[in-house]
Structure 1
């Protein structure tokens, strides 16, 4: 009988928690801690009583000490494969839940697979809906927990830590892009996406024979969401989840749209030519968090990878002015925080950085060792990324680098066929970048947990970066940091 699968990936890092999953005719529970768990459930038409309506509900519930904290659901059509309705219908409506009275955070998301697609018997995109769920501690002060003020651990070098990182932090909402599209129209999306990467330009070219420019214009917001949005939480929530390293690409709007007046003429995070979070708001938010959490330290690196020439980069003077203004803002610190640099990060202890008030480390295109490659990360199952890790993370490669950046996120948007399918079927639930979240995390994060201590040098900072930053990524970094501080 017809059915549609839902693949669930889960991770629990908090005691006394339980995840309950259900589809018509089946309920599954998971409560084991520190285990990367995966289970496939089927919404089967034979288990749905109605003869005409073959939609069955996929639901998950989270319990802590017997109390239900949340219930999320979506209806899955066993005949067509479509998923609709419910709390999981829009990615933007699934922010992480910060349960402050219990000190935990629930992160989750759903990718709607539709029917899936095949090419030469290999799935271009998943044919099962993908759901990930993590339950982790509220890590607003996790560095303080590991290295309390006055403790021996505080006197260890800062570079012993392993920092969780939110990949493309500035692409956490559609606010800037929607303002732009409203002013200039969706036709501009071809310019914004086409300037990103050669593989995406190739996909856009293929689409010219499939969709009219008017058709692309109408679904423009969904196209951008599918190919560019990599986070869905506020900056504060990402920091509470545990993120302590961010890469930010500040630049001005693309020349083709800068004069339209849709957005103020200032620096924005640029995903290619697609604008995201404003740079001044990012700095203000990070500093406000640091002021509220005096044991914490955040590293920010400015980069311009993939930003086209049509998006003007700031001068050194302008970068300095943005930072100085943020540091002087009463909401961001007002003298309580001083910006540190590369030498501070590499040579000082946690205690010294706190004493010097250098709890915001600012880097600018420093030489780091990254595991990311356009080819290796262009995957739908993560195998090529895992296979590359021991080849990249050799002692020789690490020597002389500012830090090591292990990137867990796949870049399916570099696969032309996947981009074409994603754009044609673009919707609010089928982000191409979310399609690989669960499967890649279930391989990359266990590898990091089991190997970072052996392969990464103790005298170099380690960053573990991910799309849709979550509690499993943060917890792996927390445990690795604890072990490295004990050495």
Structure 2
């Protein structure tokens, strides 16, 4: 009988929590704390009683001490393999669940369809249940504690990769005004465009322009406030004006936006405003922001030094003097207590030379093996010496794999991002490695960043636990 598989990845960071996973006539409950687990579930036609309708439901329920926190589900056709309907029928409809009892559930679902080329043939679902980390620095290093007097560089900061690409709002406004033809300008990558145009005509590309952008550029799905509550404390932002071919249409105000190539995302002033607002509400927390422009085409005008200062000063005014921008020297030389005392809880960096584990070849993977194998070769004592900080990049860049690009674009739906396809698989390998090795291989004098797509509770929990261990040294 035909069947369709669902591969599930779970992580629980809170005692008393269970995750119940089920498909027709198959149920499993996970309740082990601090374990990365993955297993396969089969929506099998023989287990579906209806003779004509061979659709079965994949469901997960999160409970704490027996009380239901959230239930999510989607219907899977055992014959066609398609998944549709339910609460997980689009990536945008799977935001983090923030409960009133100090728990956050982060999850995501990738629809594999019948399976194509190198991409997974099974649907993918990841689930992490972790504490609400809105004030994790305050709890790890409370004011007046010995931990607060340790160097800030002892911390391991969870980070959202390409934080500004968390929605299609800006891109949709551009497409609405200029039409799908502008997508070639926005992608600004001849290699990717050639792979797509080899498969479809120019007019067809224009019709599927939103799918192209979504599949290649959307790397987050929660708003910034939620990312901060999940535990993210480091962000890289690429602020620039829109491409010179976009500005005349006035689809967007001529301001600074996060630019993924020439695809506009979150407005820079919105990002800074939300960061300052969060810091004002949470006086023990410290956020690091790094401005970079790698991959941004020259046709997207970069801000002058004065323009950068103007944006930052406008945001800092919201704090009424309660927050002052710090720099790399503050990051490298100050204790947590000193940064709080000096009000330098927003560290602003510009093109700082960091040690990054990312390589185009190593991170262009669908299973994460090459990422993990690169960690020990990159994170050597010699490589760390003289760097501003260490950036361990956990995310795979399946968009660098041509066959993955073509499928993700041509058959893209609301759940078929090739970025989401690799999330659970890679995290189940990269995060355990970091948990078990960062304390040993990363110098205590260097701040460590754990960067990931679709920032989740497991990434945050590993960062917080490593911070606790490094503060104890």
Tell me the TM-score normalised to structure 2 length: 0.99
Counterpart among 265, 278, 283 of residue 272 in structure 2: 283
Aligned counterpart, 1:121: none
Q: Tell me the CA shift for residue 209 of structure 1.
A: 3.4
How many residues in Structure 1 have an aligned counterpart in Structure 2? Answer: 473
Give runs of aligned pairs for residues 115-126 of structure 1, distance below 5 A. Answer: 115-118=114-117, 124-126=118-120
Give runs of aligned pairs for residues 363-382 of structure 1, distance below 5 A. Answer: 363-382=349-368
CA deviations over 1:1-21 (Å, ceiling 9, x no partner):
111100000000011101011
Secondary structure, aligned partner of 2:359? coil
Q: Tell me the CA shift for residue 162 of structure 1.
A: 0.3
1:173 aligns with 2:167: yes
Q: Tell me the CA shift for residue 31 of structure 1.
A: 0.5
Aligned counterpart, 1:265: 254
Residue pair 1:223, 1:427 contacting (<8 A) in 2 also: no
Secondary structure, aligned partner of 1:384? helix
Please identify, of 208-217 and 4-13, the stretch whose mean Cα deviation from structure 2 is larger: 208-217
Counterpart among 396, 412, 420 of residue 434 in structure 1: 420
CA deviations over 1:443-475 (Å, ceiling 9, x no partner):
000000000011000111000000000010000
- Counterpart CA distance in 2 for 1:43 and 1:27 is 11
- Counterpart CA distance in 2 for 1:392 and 1:173 is 33
- Counterpart CA distance in 1 for 2:65 and 2:403 is 46
Secondary structure, aligned partner of 1:433? helix
Q: Tell me the CA shift for residue 191 of structure 1.
A: 2.0
Aligned counterpart, 1:86: 86
The runs of at least 4 aligned residues of structure 1 exceeding 6 Å deviation read: none
Q: Tell me the CA shift for residue 180 of structure 1.
A: 0.8
Aligned counterpart, 1:418: 404
Secondary structure, aligned partner of 2:63? strand
Q: Any gaps of 5 or more consecutive residues in structure 2?
A: none
Residue pair 2:197, 2:205 contacting (<8 A) in 1 also: no
Q: Tell me the CA shift for residue 422 of structure 1.
A: 0.9
Residue pair 2:112, 2:120 contacting (<8 A) in 1 also: yes
Residue pair 1:203, 1:417 contacting (<8 A) in 2 also: no
- Counterpart CA distance in 1 for 2:389 and 2:7 is 35
1:235 aligns with 2:224: yes
Counterpart among 142, 145, 155 of residue 149 in structure 2: 155
Q: Tell me the CA shift for residue 63 of structure 1.
A: 0.4
Give runs of aligned pairs for residues 315-326 of structure 1, distance below 5 A. Answer: 315-326=304-315
Give runs of aligned pairs for residues 167-206 of structure 1, distance below 5 A. Answer: 167-193=161-187, 195-196=188-189, 201-206=190-195
Aligned counterpart, 2:281: 292
- Counterpart CA distance in 1 for 2:17 and 2:215 is 32
Residue pair 2:163, 2:219 contacting (<8 A) in 1 also: yes
Aligned counterpart, 1:383: 369
Aligned counterpart, 2:128: 134
Aligned counterpart, 1:76: 76
Q: Tell me the CA shift for residue 190 of structure 1.
A: 2.1
- Counterpart CA distance in 1 for 2:383 and 2:172 is 42
Give runs of aligned pairs for residues 467-486 of structure 1, distance below 5 A. Answer: 467-486=453-472
- Counterpart CA distance in 2 for 1:109 and 1:191 is 30
Secondary structure, aligned partner of 2:182? helix
Residue pair 1:57, 1:75 contacting (<8 A) in 2 also: yes
CA deviations over 1:154-174 (Å, ceiling 9, x no partner):
000000000000000000111
Aligned counterpart, 1:313: 302
Aligned counterpart, 1:304: 293
CA deviations over 1:388-409 (Å, ceiling 9, x no partner):
0000000000000000000000
Q: Tell me the CA shift for residue 274 of structure 1.
A: 0.5
Secondary structure, aligned partner of 2:162? coil
Counterpart among 135, 145, 153 of residue 139 in structure 2: 145
Secondary structure, aligned partner of 1:434? helix
Aligned counterpart, 1:110: 109
Aligned counterpart, 1:67: 67
Tell me the TM-score normalised to structure 1 length: 0.96
- Counterpart CA distance in 1 for 2:314 and 2:363 is 37
Counterpart among 318, 338, 347 of residue 352 in structure 1: 338
